[in-house]
């Protein structure tokens, strides 16, 4: 047996003490003094910037750089060839289209229209035939349009993307130059109008299967209500209940829910399986089968897109 003082000098003791974290291995072993601040002379900074500019000019100079000139020629050649192939393909496809006014073509046939008029209520549960057609027979097309809205918003966000600190500084500078002026008349009008607009937009969305309107028109009304509120009280106040996190959750959840509902409906129809979602009583709010949840998803997407465009172009971020 070793004495305690002798054991503390052994490598095993030091190793296990380090493993347990009871001793900082850097204390007393590594210089912990802060390094003195080193200021670079202004002449050195200017010289480095000049060298960097000369280097970039030498690398990206289209007139003298052979590699850039060769890449530009190849790129233009491939672009021209692609455009010619695409044009030829489109002309070839158009040549196979039926003649205008041919009564045997599907466009002039009344079979599809007759099916919509005679069986839409039975097959979709919607009193509004147009909504039943858009959100059931052609739900896949509407899903594509909803994705277009989603992608358009993402593209705008990427185009206007700034680092958080940079965005805050830009916002402070903008407010310093052009402080937000909150008009008391507009605020009073918004307090009265915004609740009415929101309730009316929700009504249009929920009643889309029974009356003209639906997700797109109801979502546009909700988006207009959000924009009116933001104009009256400012984007910062609007962010208390509709900020970037709420926007992301609403938009992504709505699109995913639409996709899942549509996937179920497409799978059932393609495989001849009966749709188990009840249609409800025609004319009631809770009717139309998949139309009501899809209308809600589309309405959320449109409202979020409208407000996102306004907020992004207003200040560069939500």
pLDDT value at 106 more than 50: yes
| Contact predicate 281/120, CB 8 Å | no
Q: What is the pTM of this model?
A: 0.62
Element (DSSP H or E) covering residue 185:
helix 184-206
Helices and strands, number each (H, E), in the chain: 13, 0
pLDDT of residue 280: 78
Q: Is 266 within the bounds of a domain? A: yes
- Band (1; pLDDT cuts 50, 70, 90): low
Query: Are residues 150 and 281 located together in one domain of the fold?
Result: yes
* C-alpha to C-alpha distance for 61 and 140, rounded to whole angstroms: 48
pLDDT value at 158 more than 60: yes
* C-alpha to C-alpha distance for 201 and 219, rounded to whole angstroms: 7
pLDDT of residue 109: 63
35 secondary structure, DSSP code: P
Query: Are residues 205 and 72 located together in one domain of the fold?
Result: no
Query: Are residues 54 and 166 located together in one domain of the fold?
Result: no
The model's pLDDT over 207-237, given as tens digits with 9 standing for 90+, comes to: 888 888 788 899 999 999 999 998 888 887 8
| Contact predicate 289/261, CB 8 Å | no
* C-alpha to C-alpha distance for 95 and 97, rounded to whole angstroms: 6
Average pLDDT, rounded, for the chain: 79
Q: Is 65 within the bounds of a domain? A: yes
The model's pLDDT over 236-274, given as tens digits with 9 standing for 90+, comes to: 788 888 888 888 899 889 989 988 988 888 787 766 677
CA distances from 314 to 186, 311, 317 (A): 18, 5, 8
Nearest to 195 by CA among 222, 219, 218: 222
Q: Is 114 within the bounds of a domain? A: no
Q: How many domains does the chain have?
A: 2
Range of the domain at 54: 46-82
* Average confidence (pLDDT) over 159-166: 61
Query: Are residues 140 and 70 located together in one domain of the fold?
Result: no
Query: Are residues 131 and 238 located together in one domain of the fold?
Result: yes
Query: Are residues 244 and 187 located together in one domain of the fold?
Result: yes
* C-alpha to C-alpha distance for 198 and 223, rounded to whole angstroms: 9
Q: Is 57 within the bounds of a domain? A: yes
The model's pLDDT over 35-71, given as tens digits with 9 standing for 90+, comes to: 677 777 878 878 888 877 777 776 666 667 777 778 8
């Amino acid at each position: 047996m070793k004495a305690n003082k002798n054991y503390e000098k052994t490598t095993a003791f030091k190793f296990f003490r380090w493993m347990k974290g009871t001793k900082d291995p850097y204390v007393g072993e590594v210089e912990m003094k802060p390094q003195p601040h080193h200021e670079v002379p202004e002449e050195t900074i200017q010289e480095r910037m000049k060298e960097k500019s000369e280097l970039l000019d030498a690398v990206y100079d289209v007139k003298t750089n052979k590699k850039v000139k060769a890449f530009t020629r190849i790129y233009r050649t491939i672009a021209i060839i692609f455009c010619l192939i695409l044009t030829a393909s489109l002309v070839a496809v158009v040549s196979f289209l039926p003649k205008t006014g041919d009564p045997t073509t599907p466009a002039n046939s009344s079979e599809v229209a007759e099916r919509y008029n005679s069986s839409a209520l039975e097959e979709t549960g919607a009193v509004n035939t147009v909504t039943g057609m858009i959100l059931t027979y052609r739900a896949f097309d509407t899903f594509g349009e909803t994705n277009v809205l989603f992608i358009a918003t993402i593209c705008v966000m990427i185009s206007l993307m700034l680092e958080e600190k940079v965005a805050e500084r830009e916002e402070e500078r903008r407010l310093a130059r052009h402080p937000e002026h909150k008009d008391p008349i507009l605020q009073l009008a918004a307090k009265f109008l915004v609740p009415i607009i929101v309730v009316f937009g929700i009504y249009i969305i929920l009643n889309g299967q029974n009356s003209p309107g639906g997700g797109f028109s109801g979502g546009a009304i909700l988006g207009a209500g959000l924009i009116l509120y933001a104009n009256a009280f400012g984007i910062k106040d609007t962010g208390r209940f509709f900020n970037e996190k709420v926007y992301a959750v609403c938009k992504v959840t709505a699109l995913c829910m639409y996709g899942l509902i549509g996937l179920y409906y497409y799978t059932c129809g393609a495989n001849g399986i009966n749709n188990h979602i009840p249609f409800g009583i025609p004319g009631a709010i809770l009717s139309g089968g998949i139309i009501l949840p899809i209308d809600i998803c589309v309405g959320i997407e449109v409202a979020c897109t409208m407000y996102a465009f306004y907020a992004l172009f207003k200040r560069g971020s939500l």
